[in-house]
Amino acid sequence: MGCFTVGNYLFFLIKQKINYTINNEQSKNEIRSIVQYWIRTLNIKLGRINKFNNIVINYVKHEDVRFSADGRKIVSASYDQTVRIWDVSSGKQLQIFRGHTDSVFTARFSPNGHVVVSCSGDGTIRFWDINTGTEVMKLEKNFDKVLDVDISPDGRYIVSGFRDNIIRLWDLHSGIEIGQLLGHSKGVLNTQFSPNGKMIVSSSYDKTVNLWSVESGEILKQFKEHSDGVMRARFSPDGKCIVSCSSDNTIRIWNIETGKELNILKEHINCVNDVNYFPDGQTIVSCSNDNTIQLWNVESGNRIQILKGHSRSVKCVNISQNGNIIASGSNDCKIRIWGLS
């Protein structure tokens, strides 16, 4: 929808609301929401992103940052062996979880927001109760380093990637291992459930991206175009595509059904550490050892904007579910919050 059409439609909606319910407070709020929605949509398309200068969290080197479902909190995983929860609006630390004895690589909220799951170089996966601030479960069987972990959309299962090349599936409530996915020849850097929970995508130092069936444990497709280790691979919001990023400095978009590469994005000049889709599926955000965060148009493959602010490698990037805020973590010991202007 073009800007002219959007403007006319927006004007029509506001005019209708004013004509019928000009003094109704609920209608005023609805008008405000409509205006904000279209402003956000147009700003994303035009690449108007600025950082909130007052929201810079000073901390240690970060491996992962993730938003809560409501976008009000961030959970971070760090080299200092801790998991921490932060308030997005103020940047203040709300909670800290201690127990890991090595770097924490990933931490994320459960779908219901009551639990945080984390994994570490100490070979453990730990579950933390947000309400009590305590560790409620630990998975530990003399494992190698656990490099990534994800929770299924229904909150029943977790999937984890290990340095020993194995992907393990677990029942979240019992902590029992229910399966292994075997196919990578080197350490598994990333695992993620599809939006419908029926598939898993994984990426590895072996330069491949694998697509798995959760039910059968078999590889459905393998994507091999990267020339170096694949740092991350993520599903699109509709589950029809995968985006991956690599130490070969590229980002690649793949069609799941055909297995074909749809686009390759090459503007980063160093290893691309993380990549994510915006909730609308039309924009991608990436971060790199070149110290930048970059936004891309999915359809054209064109870079929309570069976000600069970190002074060292940017290790992780995440987007709030409403698409309004980006969080990034870096080796410069800062978490930065970026918002639409």
Classify the C-alpha dihedral 297-301-306-307 as positive or negative.
positive
Residues ≥6 apart with Cβ < 8 Å to 9 = 1
**Residues, the chain, total?**
341
Look at residue 202 and give its three-state secondary structure.
strand
Only one residue has tokens 């992962």, namely 64
Quick one: how many helices (H) and strands (E) in the chain?
A: 2, 28
Residues ≥6 apart with Cβ < 8 Å to 2 = none
DSSP 288-335: ETTSEEEEEETTT--EEEEEE--SS-EEEEEE-TTS-EEEEEETTSEE
Indicate the Cα dihedral angle 252, 253, 257, 258, nearest 10°: -60
pTM greater than 0.75: yes
**Residues of the chain where predicted confidence (pLDDT) is lower than 70:** 1-55, 59-62, 340-341
Give the pLDDT confidence score for residue 21 in this predicted structure. Answer: 39
CA distance 60 to 335: 9
Q: Phi/psi of residue 22, each to 5°? A: -65, -30
DSSP 72-103: SEEEEEETTSEEEEEETTT--EEEEEE--SS-
Residues ≥6 apart with Cβ < 8 Å to 43 = 49, 340, 341
Secondary-structure class of domain 47-339 per CATH: mainly beta
CA distance 195 to 199: 8
Give the pLDDT confidence score for residue 41 in this predicted structure. Answer: 47
Which amino acid type is present at position 321?
Answer: Q
- In the 8-state DSSP scheme, what is residue 284? E
Give the pLDDT confidence score for residue 59 in this predicted structure. Answer: 62
CA distance 67 to 14: 32
Q: Backbone dihedral region of 280: left (phi > 0), alpha (psi from -120 to 50 degrees) or beta?
A: alpha
DSSP 232-265: EEEE-TTSSEEEEEETTS-EEEEETTT--EEEEE
pLDDT tens per residue, range 272-294: 999 999 999 999 999 999 999 99
Residue 271 CA to its chain's centroid (Å): 17
Residue 324 structure tokens = 């309004």
CA distance 249 to 229: 10
Report whether 326 contacts 310 (CB < 8 A): no
Only one residue has tokens 């929201």, namely 55
pLDDT tens per residue, range 100-131: 999 999 999 999 999 999 999 999 999 999 99
Give the pLDDT confidence score for residue 58 in this predicted structure. Answer: 72
| Interstrand relation of 104-109 and 115-120 (parallel, antiparallel or unpaired) | antiparallel
For the chain, give every residue range classified as CATH 2.130.10.10.
Answer: 47-339
Residue 133 structure tokens = 């601030």
Give the pLDDT confidence score for residue 28 in this predicted structure. Answer: 47
CA distance 239 to 197: 10
